[in-house]
């Protein structure tokens, strides 16, 4: 793969990590709003789900960034390769 293509893939992957991190931060702030100093908390289930989804996206984005940075195939590309091998 060319250097410019590699750098482009790294930049796209890094942007995805940054966006995912912002989503995690926003979801965390939304959850913190419902936690009071007296220990009572009443966040809604959709807020927990939003936080979990944001964390999962960050995990996947980070893995894909690591793959792009190390010039490894992403999990999606690896899965496609396995499908081709199975025939």
Q: What pTM value is reported for the model?
A: 0.71
Do residues 43 and 34 touch, judged by C-beta distance below 8 A? yes
Please write the tens of the pLDDT for every residue from 11-48: 899 999 999 999 999 999 998 888 877 777 788 899 99
Give the chain's domain count: 1
74 touches 61 (CB < 8 A):
no
- How many DSSP H helices and E strands does the chain contain? 3, 0
Torsion (CA) 65, 70, 71, 76 in degrees, nearest 10: -40
Note the pLDDT tens digit of each residue in 41-70: 788 899 999 999 999 999 999 999 988 878
Domain range for 49: 3-86
């Amino acid at each position: 793969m060319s250097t410019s293509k590699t750098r482009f893939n790294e930049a796209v992957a890094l942007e995805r990590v940054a966006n995912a991190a912002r989503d995690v931060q926003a979801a965390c702030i939304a959850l913190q709003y419902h936690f009071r100093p007296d220990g009572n908390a009443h966040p809604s289930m959709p807020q927990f789900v939003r936080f979990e989804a944001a964390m999962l996206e960050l995990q996947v984005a980070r893995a894909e960034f690591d793959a792009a940075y190390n010039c490894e195939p992403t999990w999606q590309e690896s899965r496609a390769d396995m499908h081709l091998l199975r025939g």
